[in-house]
Amino acid sequence: MEFRVNQALRACLWTDYLGEAAPAVSAGDLAPNCLALYLGCRGVEGYDTTWCEPFIDDAERDGFGYDPHSFYWRFSLEAFRRVRPLAHGKFLHQLPDLIEGLDTLAAMRGTERLLTDLVEQPEWVHASLRAITDLYFRYYDVLYDLLRDEVGGSIYWLWAPGRLTKLQCDFSAMISPTMFREFMVPVLSEMTERVSYSLYHWDGPGAIRHLDHLLSIPRLGMIQWQPGAGNENAPHPRWWPLYHRILEAGKKLMVWAESKDDLLAYKREFGDKCKGMYISTSARTTAEADELLRIMEF
């Protein structure tokens, strides 16, 4: 099976055959924020979700670091290694959802405590973020070497022909642009410099105020917009001014379409700019998939 990426990053179709999608599994992806598990959190499993239980009660006493014997780290590696022989010519291995920065620190410290820390002990926060970034790549480098394909490509939601990372800061909905610039922009800037391809998961209206700072990061390649629960879906015109800003800044945009009409609306509104959009949608039949692909041809 041949995997390739269209430089225009147009429609990604999941159906009984593939448009520009690549089949992938992530056998060792244990939770949203695997890195926090590797660094000391205990995973809690609910009926239909998982989360990380904070463990840093005392910032001066409770530390964290690389633990090669971590149950979660060993479990991830073993799961990936066992599935890997089954994948050849069939599917790719998606990187686990490591997560970084303030989201990881919040998982380990607790959200309310970390919000207080930003004001009362910012030096500790900065030092912790420095350590988290270094530890992220200590784990990432091992995972990339284990999971990359035969051409060095990696995948998280989309495939890239090299080192790819998905970045985020859902915590940013609770802080000001000034704090985001101080605490997260340096983290994101460094991380985008240490990989070849980067995708930022931008989640909810509370994060919109940070767009200027995101667009200022030179090597941030793509922004994926997630409107958040209870809000208009990604194809809604409410979000189109944001999409224009992202595309005009030279970044790629990842969104989804729920119907043919959504694709037609994107094409009418954005025209040739659609070549900078990765649009995920679905089709029930091969004929429907062919039609959706034709809509996005230029």
| Rounded Cα–Cα distance for residues 35 and 293 (Å) | 37
**Which CATH code is given to the segment(s) 11-295?**
3.20.20.210
Give the pLDDT of residue 12.
33
One-letter amino acid of 112: E
Please state the separation of Cα 209 from the chain's center in Å.
19
CB contact at 8 A, 94 and 21 = no
| Rounded Cα–Cα distance for residues 148 and 44 (Å) | 29
Give the pLDDT of residue 19.
57
Q: 251 to each of 87, 149, 189, 225, 291, how far by Cα in Å?
A: 32, 26, 14, 12, 27
What pLDDT digit, counting tens, does each position of 122-153 carry? 999 999 999 999 999 999 999 999 999 999 99
Residue 112 neighbours by CB distance under 10 Å: 11
- Quote the pTM value: 0.91
Give the pLDDT of residue 257.
95
N- to C-terminal Cα distance for the chain? Answer: 26
Give the pLDDT of residue 46.
86
Give the pLDDT of residue 13.
32
User: Beta strands 222-226 and 11-14: pairing type?
Assistant: unpaired
Place of tokens 């069939």: 90
**Regions in the chain scoring below 50 on pLDDT:** 1-18
What pLDDT digit, counting tens, does each position of 273-282 carry? 999 999 999 8
